[in-house]
Amino acid sequence: MKYKNIIYALSMVALMLTMGCNDDFLERYPLDEISNETFWNTENDLKVYNNGLYDLTRNDDNVPILMGHDGGFNSHKYGIWYTDEFTDNIAPRHSRHNRYQQVRAGKHLVPSSTEWYGYKGWNFVRAINIGLDNYDNADIEDAVRNKYVGEARLFRGWFYADKVSKFGDAPWVDHELNVDSDELYGARTPREEVMANVLADLTFAAENLPSDWGDGAGPGRLNRWAALLVKSRVCLFEGTWRKYHGGSNPDMWLQEAAAAAKEIMDDGPYSLYSTGDPLNDYNAIHQMTADLTGVSEVMYWRRYELGINTNHVQSYHRGYNGGATKSMVEDYLCADGLPITLSDQYQGDEVFENIFENRDPRLRQTILHPDDVLKYGYGNFDTRPYPRLRGMEGGQTIETGYHIIKVFDPVTSYATYNTSNTPAITLRFGEALLNYAEAMAELGTITQSDLDASINLLRDRVGMPHMDLNNVPVDPRYVDDGVSPLIVEIRRERRVELFMEGFRYDDLRRWKQGKKLLTKDYGVRYDDAAQARYEKSNVASSLVDGIPYVDVYKGSDYETPEFDENKHYLWPIPLSALSQNPNIGQNPGW
């Protein structure tokens, strides 16, 4: 069914829910139109209705959960690749990415209306609840019905978890509302009550969704393994939030996170993608174009196809992201498994190419080495010397000098506008391993066997030394984080493995590590020798420990980042929502 027909069908069903006649004799339903009374009969009716829920999730701005790439012009601003720009991972300077720069620098204000990924998308909850109010009308077995109930509840729980993560308390609604419903003008539901409902939704989904919809691992419907991964993600967020920000029973949430991830690890059909090539395997699934069907690590992805649903993300991403930061690049371990602060293998950054020597192979599979330009087809197979900073003549220039090639594809990057089919990986098995290790470490019950079944599998893929529970390095840069060296290293592994996959901002907030956003974003070394290499570049620099580095935001409104511990962990409620219902209240500090 075409998207427009699905939306029309959903609209008609929703409309008919408010209509009807109490006189059975007078009820005569048109045979050529959809009505609420005639729609909810078969499994196919439930399937078609839920298809419309998937369609609504394609708007990443309104429903930022099943994140992919927005289509057309919006490919430049909404989507899974960009959310790291809220953080110290990536440093954009393009004016079209001001929103990311504002939030990252703590310069955002109470908006007059909803901002990107903000306090909106409630029509999605309404659509879900309409379905949940009517699925029971179908004359089908409960086990069949509950597949679609589970699908809807997975969407609802996931959506609310996102809203709670950004806004704290949220208006929990589990049935259809009408224009005169009291809930429209009530206060927000307390966070802990909302999250109890979220956990119930996600648990039901994980228990009732099928393990396989028979779609051949294509980008079809979310299965129970996907529900378990979402559950582990949400429970890890909530457990660590309550542990570091305060809240009841954080260990219960961490145990739920660990159990959900472990079930995937033990019983799921997924494994890390690996061909035994540590210099390429990490990057490989992010370079696969068009079709990820059957890739062992990919648990859910969004397909794009010409004439149906396309994007232009590659073209925008290469020019708008600004590049990775010095902080990000320096977090990759050396080949001996030690951080650069402790390893005698680190060769420094005086010569750009040296940063890749004796380092975790994921660094060179994420950040462009000058010798790899033709390998990845970077800059449309440009033959100029790289890296290239803003202001240099020709080629692909960026702000930091650390060009991102983790997802680069020259074919779609230089395709005709909005004709690209770059897929988006939404859920992958590697996250389950990281969720499990972190949850067990936060519980204080992690063993070497747990590390070997999680973190060390990720390291095996790239040929890195195992994490040893009895010999964890102590990086002097992170001794003030207030956590054990083990948790520091698990967090580092998460940052490296999941770079540019949409996790860093939520991670920093749930760990209560907003202070990391007070550090300015820097790029490559910019001493005299470097300036000669980057001839005609137009960037500013500042001294870091006596050495000049590109200072990305120097001279801009975002030059000195701020982070107010009393307010910046949550986003403000927009004035438009407060004017419609003052009872929802504003978040602290705003």
Residue 522 pairs in a beta bridge with 551
| 172-184 average pLDDT score | 85
pLDDT, tens digit (0-9, with 9 covering 90-100), for 474-504: 999 999 999 999 999 999 999 999 999 999 9
| 518-542 average pLDDT score | 96
DSSP 247-277: -S-HHHHHHHHHHHHHHHHHHSS------S-
pLDDT of the residue at 307: 87
Indicate whether 527 pLDDT > 50. Answer: yes
Indicate whether 33 pLDDT > 70. Answer: no
pLDDT, tens digit (0-9, with 9 covering 90-100), for 369-407: 999 999 999 999 999 999 999 999 999 999 999 999 999
Q: How does the average pLDDT of the chain come out, rounded? A: 92
Indicate whether 173 pLDDT > 70. Answer: yes
As to burial, measured by CB atoms within 10 angstroms (0-12 exposed, 13-18 middle, 19+ buried), residue 102 is middle
Q: What percent of the chain has pLDDT over 90?
A: 83
Residue 217 pLDDT level (bands cut at 50, 70, 90): low
pLDDT of the residue at 113: 93
pLDDT, tens digit (0-9, with 9 covering 90-100), for 35-55: 676 789 999 999 999 999 999
pLDDT, tens digit (0-9, with 9 covering 90-100), for 341-372: 999 999 999 999 999 999 999 999 999 999 99
**Which ranges of 368-409 does DSSP label H, i.e. alpha helix?**
373-376, 378-381
pLDDT of the residue at 218: 66
Listed in sequence order, the residues at least 6 apart from 24 whose beta carbon sits closer than 8 Å to its beta carbon are none
In angstroms, the CA 228 to CA 242 distance is 21
In angstroms, the CA 220 to CA 540 distance is 47
Residue 215 pLDDT level (bands cut at 50, 70, 90): confident
pLDDT of the residue at 413: 85
57 with 63: CB under 8 angstroms? yes
Residue 588 pLDDT level (bands cut at 50, 70, 90): very high
pLDDT of the residue at 35: 66
| 169-197 average pLDDT score | 91
In angstroms, the CA 274 to CA 252 distance is 34
157 with 201: CB under 8 angstroms? yes
| 154-166 average pLDDT score | 98
- Of 521, 524, 520, nearest in space to 390 by CA: 524
pLDDT, tens digit (0-9, with 9 covering 90-100), for 240-282: 999 999 999 999 999 999 999 999 999 999 999 999 999 999 9
Indicate whether 11 pLDDT > 70. Answer: no
Residue 5 pLDDT level (bands cut at 50, 70, 90): very low
pLDDT, tens digit (0-9, with 9 covering 90-100), for 72-104: 889 999 999 999 999 999 999 999 999 999 999
User: pTM of the predicted model, to two decimals?
Assistant: 0.93
pLDDT, tens digit (0-9, with 9 covering 90-100), for 415-440: 889 898 999 999 999 999 999 999 99
